[in-house]
Structure 1
Amino acid sequence: MSKINRKDFDKTAVLAMYAKVTKNTLMETLGIEYIDAGPEYLVATMPVNSKVHQPMGLLHGGASVALAESLGSGASLMLIDPETQEVRGVEISANHLKSKRAGVVTGTAKLVHRGRMLHLWEIRITDENGELISLCKITNIVIDRRK
């Protein structure tokens, strides 16, 4: 994977890369699928079913946070040089505003701040009707890659 430049951003290549690197990960276990990308945003869906339910049959807040972190961290990867840098999440917060029992949720990560060492992303998780389920934010730190 190489650093993604705004001027030559290739959405198809980016989405193919995410499909490849998420094999055998939590994203695959939860059914998270990256569906859209741009230089400062990333979008993914996650099915709401028994795999992501809490005991009352509702979307587990932790599953929503996993979706948010997958989006925010994945989006930061587009802003770095992966040959020399890595990304680590240092803080994530979530406000769960509405429950959901079944269907699909869509998370959209949008860049709020891009610093040399810190990236801040806002992730909005919505249902099929565009209603807000969770509002999250993640702060990522950019570190030098260890050899």
Structure 2
Amino acid sequence: MHGDALPGWTGDLDSALDQKLGIELVEVGADRVVGRMPVVGNTQPLGLLHGGANAVLVETLGSIGATAHARSRGMVAVGLELNITHLGAARSGWVTGVAVAVRLGGTVASYQVEITDEDGRTTATGRLTCLLRPA
């Protein structure tokens, strides 16, 4: 799920679902997380990228950002709320998600995520809010 330039702790967050969807991390930080996912293998019956796969990408990227923030405080992050809006269809190639921190507080971290296709078109947006709690 991650490359050599990423923090080593990201390997501890590699989940079976992320592996099944083929999610790859590109950039990791508390302020911004970038990852990508193939469309092939993650489609619904009409051949479009499954909305649930989009939701998993949003949750994965936001959770990793929140974890980066929480780790700096000796805490862990757990999801509180996830929402996603599907704006366009992806049928092939890869989609890329960019999660940008909206709030990095002492007890809450929230991320806005934009998912784009290989042509740069926004296919979905989402938001993940995580609770930070003691490790």
TM-score under structure 1 normalisation?
Answer: 0.82
Residue 31 of structure 1: which of 16, 22, 31 is its match? Answer: 22
State the one-letter code of the partner of 2:111: W
Correspondence 1:53 to 2:53: no
Q: How many matched pairs?
A: 132
Question: What's the CA shift for 1:36?
Answer: 1.6
2: CA distance between counterparts of 1:90 and 1:24? 19
Structure 1 residues 139, 130: CA separation in 2 closer, same or farther (over 3 Å shift)? same
Sequence identity, in percent? 32
Equivalent residue number for residue 32 of structure 2: 41
- SS of the aligned residue for 1:56 comes to coil
For residue 8 of structure 1, what is the aligned residue in structure 2?
none
Q: Name the Cα RMSD after superposition.
A: 1.9
TM-score by length of 2: 0.89
Unaligned runs of 5+ in 2: none
SS, match of residue 135 in structure 1: strand
Structure with greater Cα Rg: 1
The code of the aligned residue for 2:37 comes to: M
Query: What stretches of structure 1 of length at least 5 have no aligned partner?
Result: 1-10
* Structure 1 CA distance for aligned equivalents of residues 132 and 101 of structure 2: 15
Partner of 2:113: 123
